[in-house]
Structure formats: C-alpha cells, structure tokens
Amino acid sequence: MPIPAQVRNFAFFPNIDDWLPGDLVLVAPVNPDWIHRQIHAAQMRSGYAAEDPQWQHAAVYTGDGYVCEAGTSGVRYAPIFSYVGEHLIRVRRDFTLSNDERWRLVVQAIVRLGQPYNFREILSVYRSSLSMSWTSALGTQLVAHGKSIICSQLYATAYSAVAGRQVSRFVNTSVVPATLSLSAVLSDVSLHWKDIV
C-alpha cells in the first residue's frame, strides 16, 4: 500500500509491531474541529481528570495496521494511516487476555461492520454533560438502540463479550473515550515511532 502524503510529510509511523490485535487505540486530533472540541468539553463537564477527556475517538486494533471503528458513517475497517501525523495516538491493552481472547475481541468488533452510528446516544450523553454532576452523569447508561453504536461502545461491547466483565469499574455507565482512558483494567502500551524518511 502506498504511504499517504500526510504520513510521508510527518516522516514517522508508529511501530505497529508492538501492537496486538484487540488493543484499544485512542486518538485525538492535534487541531480539533468544533465537534472534537465539544466531545472534549462534554467529557470534562462529566468530571473526568484532564488527561482522560483529551481522547475523543476509540478503535479496536485488528492487526496489519488496521482498526475497526465506529464513525459517523457507521462501523468500518480502516488503516491507521489516517491518524498518523494529525492525531495523538495512545494504545491500551488488557495484559491478562490470551492471544485467543484478543482475536475473539477483534471478531466481536468486526461482526458489527456496517452498523450505523448512534447519533441519538451521543446527543443524550452531551445533554447529560450539560445538566448533570459527575455522579449523575456516571449513572447514565449508554445503550445501543437497535444496531447503532458509538466508537467507545464498540470496544467496550467487544471487550465485555470476550472478557466476561466490563472495561469500566462503573456499572451501567456511559462508555465514552475518557472512560476507556481511565479504565484500570487496561494498561498503556509503549508507543515507539519509526523514521520513514
């Protein structure tokens, strides 16, 4: 696959050899647009510490430089290239999962390809962040209506199906990217960069 111009101009690419299928990939645009600023602000209003709301998107790493993610066009399979150079990237992993469980997590995400994005739930979370305290916002459950889903919910649902437990210590709560950043069951994977010039 040819290297996209923005990656070539950035001149670095993450060493994806360090990543495993089933890893959580959190991203945040370096220059956030209005929507990303609203996601950040809503997560801040919900009471997360400053380091967690900076992450505004979540994806499941599937291997070979690809992720499965839920975006406004629905759940899709996409190259990590689109985030390199223009986004901060953080990789997290549950080190207690076996290789088989990691692959099952990937399958749980990929079987949702084509499912629509859950705009209704995003609006609900946003409204809750405007009017509720941290404790109240944590009590708001994010659920899929029909087959629609949001990015962080895609990872959390796949994780729960495989691990048999929630990724968040808060029961029946909204799972937003900040929730996944805060999760104690996930640990950071060191991110190393390769020079591609």
Tokens of 106: 């990937």
Q: Are 69 and 59 in contact (CB under 8 A)?
A: yes
Examine the pLDDT at 159 and tell me if it is beyond 90. Answer: yes
Residue 83 CA, chain-centre distance (Å), reads 12
Q: Which residue, among 161, 132, 178, has the nearest Cα to 26 in the 3D structure?
A: 178
In angstroms, rounded to a whole number, what is the distance separating the alpha carbons of residues 133 and 93? 30
In order of 105, 120, 157, 166, the CA distances from 16 in angstroms are: 18, 34, 24, 26
Q: Residue 131: give the domain boundaries.
A: 5-188
The verdict on residue 80 lying in a domain is: yes
The verdict on residue 93 lying in a domain is: yes
**Helix or strand (DSSP H, E) at 99:** helix 99-110
The verdict on residue 196 lying in a domain is: no
Quote the pLDDT of residue 30: 93
Contacts of 131 (CB under 8 A, 6+ apart): none
Looking at the structure of the chain, the number of domains it has is: 1
Render pLDDT for 47-65 as a digit per residue (tens, 0 to 9). Answer: 888 899 999 999 999 999 9
The verdict on residue 193 lying in a domain is: no
Tokens of 185: 């069951």
Residue 118 CA, chain-centre distance (Å), reads 15
CATH value at residue 31: 3.90.1720.10
Render pLDDT for 67-110 as a digit per residue (tens, 0 to 9). Answer: 999 998 999 999 998 898 889 999 999 999 999 999 999 999 99
In angstroms, rounded to a whole number, what is the distance separating the alpha carbons of residues 69 and 133? 29
The verdict on residue 195 lying in a domain is: no
Contacts of 22 (CB under 8 A, 6+ apart): 60, 61, 93, 97, 101, 102, 103, 104, 105, 106, 162
The verdict on residue 101 lying in a domain is: yes
pLDDT band at residue 29 under the 50/70/90 scheme: very high
Examine the pLDDT at 26 and tell me if it is beyond 50. Answer: yes
The verdict on residue 149 lying in a domain is: yes
The verdict on residue 87 lying in a domain is: yes
